[in-house]
Amino acid sequence: MGDLSSEMAWFFLAVLAVLGGTVLCKYNRSPGLVQGAVCLAGLWGGVYLLNLSLFCGLILSSLTCFLVYTYLSGQEFLPADQKAVLVTGSDSGIGHSLCKYLDKLGFTVFAGVLDEKGAGAGELRRTCSPRLLVLQLDITNPEQIKDALGKVAEKVQDTGLWAVINNAGILGFPCDGELIPMSEYRRCMAVNFFGAVEVTKAFLPLLRKSKGRLVNMSSMAGGVPFDHLAAYSSSKAALTMFSSILRRELSEWGVKVAVIQPGGFRTSIAGNSDTWDKLEKDLLDHLPAEVQEDYGREYIHSQRSFLHMINTQSSPDFSPVLRDIEHAISAKRPSAFYAPGEGCYLWLCLASFLPAIIFDYISKKLLGAGKRLPRALSVPTWKDKAT
C-alpha cells in the first residue's frame, strides 16, 4: 500500500509539473494564468493529502487536463486588422501609452482627449500612424460624447466598433473621508463612474454590432479599502460593480466585458503642487471650524505625503497594464478581471477573503507605520490645555 501511495504522489507531482510548466510558458500572452497555477497546486496538494485512490486521481487528472486545454485554447489572440477601439483619457499616462501601443499593434485607434489642442494630443498625431484619430472628448460633457459617437460611427460604418476602453479618471485630494468636501465626492463620481457609464451607453450599439469588447479601468483601490481614498475608491468600486452586471447582461449579445484593477503606476492622476494647493484650499474653505480644530491644519497639510508617495514609489512601467488590456480586447476568451501591478492580486485576495478584523490589522501594520494622527488624537487634552 505504501508503494502505491508513493506512486500516486509521484504521478500527481508529474501532472502538476506538466500543467504548471504549460501555464507558466503561456503566461506572457495570457495574464491571469499564474493564479490558475496556484489553484492547480492547491487542488493536487489536496488530492495527495486526502490520499485518494489511483482511479480517482486518474479521473481528476483527466478532468484537469481537459479544463486547462479548453482554457488555453481560448487564449488565442484575434487579429487586430480592421478592428477599431476607443480610448478615453488619452492626454497622458496609461491612456496615452495605450493609444501608442494599440496603434503599433495595428488597431484603428480613436483617442479621446480632454484637450484636443494640448501637448498629449499633438504628440499622438505626430508619433502614431494615420489610422489614429484624436477626438475632443470630455466624458462629463454629453454634447462631446454625442459628437465623438457621430465621428466614430461615420468612420467605422457597418463594421462597428470593436472595443471601448474607459480609461479616463481622476484621483482628487486624498484625505480622511470626513474631510473630503462633497464637491470632491461628486467630481470623482462624475468622472470615474457617471462619465464611464454615459460613454458606455452611447457606444454600446456599435459594440453590439461588432460583438466586441468593453474594458473599464477600475483600480485596486476599488476593491481594497485604503485610507484617504474614500471618494476615489467609492467611484471605482461603483464602476467595478457596473461592469460586472453588464458582463452578465451583454453576454447575451456576444459582447465581453473586462475590468482592469491596476495597482500603483506612476501617472499624472496624482497631479502636481499647483493642483494640490488648489484642492487643499478648497478643502479648508469648506471645513467646519470644529472639524478643522480636531484634525489640525498640520495633519491636513501632511496628506501631501501620500501624493508624493504615489509619484515616487509607483512603477513607471505601464507594460503590465498594456498587456492586460491587449489580452482583454484580443484574446478569444478574455478574463473578467485583471490585476496588473506588483502585489495587486494579493491585496485584492486579502481584502476579499480575510475577516475584516484580520485584514484591518494586517493593513495597519504594513501601511500605517509612521502615520501622523489628527491633532485631537495625538494630544487628546490639547483643548483643555488651551483653556
Is residue 46 a part of any domain in this protein?
Answer: yes
Helix crossing, 196-210 with 230-250: angle to 10°? 20
Total number of domains in the chain: 2
Tell whether 228 and 349 lie within a shared domain.
yes
Tell whether 13 and 105 lie within a shared domain.
no
Tell whether 53 and 158 lie within a shared domain.
no
Q: Which domain holds residue 30?
A: 2-73
Lowest mean pLDDT among 48-57, 232-241, 289-298: 48-57
Paired strand residues for 163: 85, 213
Paired strand residues for 256: 213
Which of 137 and 65 is assigned the larger pLDDT? 137
Residue ending a domain, choose from 73, 106, 132: 73
Distance CA 338, CA 344 (A): 10
Q: CB under 8 Å to 291, separation ≥6 — which residues?
A: 178, 179
- pLDDT digit string, tens, across residues 336-380: 999 999 889 999 999 999 999 999 999 888 877 667 888 888 876
- pLDDT digit string, tens, across residues 243-258: 999 999 999 999 999 9
C-alpha cell recorded at residue 45: 496538494
Q: Dihedral (C-alpha) 344, 345, 346, 349: value to the nearest 10 degrees?
A: 130
Tell whether 9 and 130 lie within a shared domain.
no
Tell whether 221 and 263 lie within a shared domain.
yes
Is residue 195 a part of any domain in this protein?
Answer: yes
Is residue 154 a part of any domain in this protein?
Answer: yes
Count of alpha carbons within 13 Å of 333, Cβ hemisphere only?
A: 9
Tell whether 164 and 232 lie within a shared domain.
yes
Yes or no: say if 171 and 271 are a contact pair by the CB < 8 Å rule.
yes
Distance CA 273, CA 139 (A): 25
- pLDDT digit string, tens, across residues 305-319: 777 777 777 788 899
232 catalytic residue (yes or no):
yes
User: What confidence score (pLDDT) does residue 30 get?
Assistant: 46
| CA nearest to 148, candidates 84, 217, 81, 222 | 84
Is residue 284 a part of any domain in this protein?
Answer: no
Tell whether 243 and 338 lie within a shared domain.
yes
Yes or no: say if 195 and 203 are a contact pair by the CB < 8 Å rule.
no
User: What confidence score (pLDDT) does residue 58 get?
Assistant: 59
- pLDDT digit string, tens, across residues 70-110: 555 557 889 888 899 999 999 999 999 999 999 999 999 99
C-alpha cell recorded at residue 211: 460583438
C-alpha cell recorded at residue 116: 484636443
Lowest mean pLDDT among 62-71, 263-272, 300-309: 62-71
Question: Nearest-5° angle of CA 167, CA 230, CA 380?
Answer: 155
Q: Which of 27, 185, 232, 361 is catalytic?
A: 232
Specify the residue for cell string 498587456: 323
